[in-house]
A and B are shown apart, each in its own frame.
Chain A
Amino acid sequence: MSNRSASLLVAGALATAVAALGASAAQAGMPMNNANPRVRTMAALKSGKFQQCWGVALAGHNDCYAGPGTTCAGTASRNYLGNAFKLVPTGTCTAIHTPYVTIAHGHGSLKPITETGA
Chain B
Amino acid sequence: MRPWAERQGQFAAALCNVEHPMPPGCIAPDGLPDATRFAVYRNNVISSLIECLQASYPAIERLLGATCFREVAFRFVAEAPPRSAVMLEYGAGFAEFLAQLEPLAALPYLADVARIERAWLEAYHAAEATALDPAALAAVPEHRSGDLCLTLHPSMRIVQSAFPALTIWQLNIAATAPIAVDLPTVAQDTLIARPDAEVEVRALPPGGAAFLNALGAGETLAESAALAGAAAAEFNLTDQLTALLGSGLITAGRLKRRRTRGH
Q: Contact: B39 with A54, CB < 8 Å?
A: no
Q: Contact: B63 with A58, CB < 8 Å?
A: no
**What are the residues of chain B within 8 A of A93 when measuring CB–CB?**
63-64, 107, 110
Q: Is A68 an interface residue (CB 8 A)?
A: yes
Q: Contact: B63 with A91, CB < 8 Å?
A: yes
Q: Contact: A69 with B183, CB < 8 Å?
A: no
A14 to B135 alpha-carbon distance, docked (Å): 11
**What are the residues of chain B within 8 A of A13 when measuring CB–CB?**
225, 237-238, 241
Contacts A82-B67, A89-B104, A95-B179; A75 near B146 (Cβ below 8 A): no
Q: Is A28 an interface residue (CB 8 A)?
A: no
Contacts A10-B237, A82-B70; A22 near B225 (Cβ below 8 A): no
Q: Contact: A68 with B51, CB < 8 Å?
A: yes
Choice from A17, A68, A88 contacting B242 with Cβ under 8 Å: A17
Choice from A62, A76, A88 contacting B55 with Cβ under 8 Å: A62
Within 8 A of A (CB), among B130-171: 130-135, 137-138, 140, 142-143, 145-146, 148, 163-164, 168, 171
Contacts A6-B222, A52-B198, A101-B108; A87 near B43 (Cβ below 8 A): no
**What are the residues of chain A within 8 A of B171 when measuring CB–CB?**
92, 96
Contacts A74-B44, A110-B180; A9 near B107 (Cβ below 8 A): no
Nearest B residue (CB) for A34: B246
Mark each residue of chain A from 49 to 73: 1 if its CB lies under 8 Å from any CB of chain B, else 0: 0011111101011111100111100
Choice from B47, B103, B246 contacting A87 with Cβ under 8 Å: B103
Q: Contact: B246 with A33, CB < 8 Å?
A: yes
Contacts A14-B137, A92-B172; A103 near B106 (Cβ below 8 A): yes
Chain A contact residues, majority secondary structure: loop
Q: Contact: B221 with A85, CB < 8 Å?
A: no
CB distance from B156 to the nearest CB of A (A): 14
Q: Contact: B238 with A78, CB < 8 Å?
A: no
**How many chain B residues touch the partner (CB < 8 A)?**
88
**What are the residues of chain A within 8 A of B194 when measuring CB–CB?**
55
Q: Is A47 an interface residue (CB 8 A)?
A: no
**What are the residues of chain A within 8 A of B140 when measuring CB–CB?**
14
Contacts A22-B134, A91-B68; A9 near B237 (Cβ below 8 A): yes
CB distance from B113 to the nearest CB of A (A): 10
**What are the residues of chain B within 8 A of A100 when measuring CB–CB?**
108-109, 163
CB distance from B195 to the nearest CB of A (A): 7
Q: Contact: A92 with B178, CB < 8 Å?
A: yes
**What are the residues of chain B within 8 A of A118 when measuring CB–CB?**
67
A88 to B138 alpha-carbon distance, docked (Å): 56
Q: Contact: B43 with A64, CB < 8 Å?
A: no
Q: Contact: A113 with B107, CB < 8 Å?
A: no
User: 15 interchain pairs (CB within 8 A)?
Assistant: A15-B145, A32-B246, A52-B198, A61-B88, A62-B55, A65-B51, A75-B47, A76-B43, A87-B71, A89-B68, A94-B178, A96-B109, A100-B109, A101-B108, A110-B180
Which positions in B face A, CB cutoff 8 Å? 18, 36, 39-40, 42-44, 46-48, 51-52, 54-56, 58, 61-72, 74, 87-90, 101, 103-104, 106-110, 121, 124, 130-135, 137-138, 140, 142-143, 145-146, 148, 163-164, 168, 171-172, 177-183, 185, 194-199, 221-222, 225-226, 237-238, 241-242, 245-248
